[in-house]
Amino acid sequence: MVKSLSPKAIKEFFQRLQARNPDPKTELKYSSHFELLIAVILSAQATDASVNKATKILFSVANTPEAIFRLGESGLQTYIKAIGLYRTKAKNIIKTCEILSNDYNSEVPCNRKQLEQLPGVGRKTANVILNTAFGESTIAVDTHIFRTANRTGLARGASVRQVEDQLLKVIPNEYLYHAHHWLILHGRYTCLARRPKCGTCTVYDLCLYPDKVTTQ
C-alpha cells in the first residue's frame, strides 16, 4: 500500500513552507483581473517568464477586452507568437474578450461556471483566477503540484482532479488559501522533475519520496 503523509506531517509541511515564504505570489505580471486572466490563458504549456515577456509589450498597447478584441487574431498573434500554441490562444482570447465586453461589462466573472464557459478557460485556469483574483481557497493542479503532491505523499492521485480533491481534503484550513502558490513554487524551484533539490528542501525529512537524494 502506498503511504501518504499523516495529518501531523501535513500541518508541519505547510508550517515550514509558510515560514520560508509567508506571503507567496504568482510570478505572472499583471495589474488587473483581466490582465491576470489573459496571462493565465497564455501560460498553458508555457513558462511564466515567456508570458511576462510577451504581456509586458501587449499590455502596454492593449489591456482591456475592447482593446485586445480590436487587435483581432492576427494582430494579437504578433505579440504572443513566441508562446506555445499561440494561434489557438489568440483565437480563444479574442472570443473571450468579445464575451466579456458583451456579457460582463468588461469585467472578469468571479463565478466558476461563468469562468469555465470562457474560451481557453478550463478548471485549472478558473482555479487560478478564483484564488489569485478573488481570494478563494482553490488549488490549480499543474504539473508542478501534481508531481510534488504525489512524490512527497502529500496527496496521491492518478489525475489532476484526484490530486486537487485530495489536497482540499487534507490541507488544514489555515493554509488552504496560500497552498496553491506554495506548492507551485516548491515544485518549480526545489522539487524538480529530474533532479529534485532534496539537499536544500525544507520538508526533506517529512517527504515520502523513495529515491530522495542529497545532492543539489
CA distance 114 to 108: 9
Q: How far is CA 178 from CA 34, 50, 175, in A?
A: 21, 24, 6
In the chain, how many H helices and how many E strands? 10, 0
CA distance 86 to 73: 10
195 Cβ contact list (under 8 Å, min separation 6): 213, 215
Q: So which residues are the catalytic ones?
A: 124, 142
Amino acid residing at 140: A
112 class by beta-carbon count within 10 Å (0-12 exposed, 13-18 middle, 19+ buried)? middle
User: What are the start-end ranges of the E strands in 70-124?
Assistant: none
Amino acid residing at 108: V
37 Cβ contact list (under 8 Å, min separation 6): 96, 108, 118, 121, 125, 129, 133
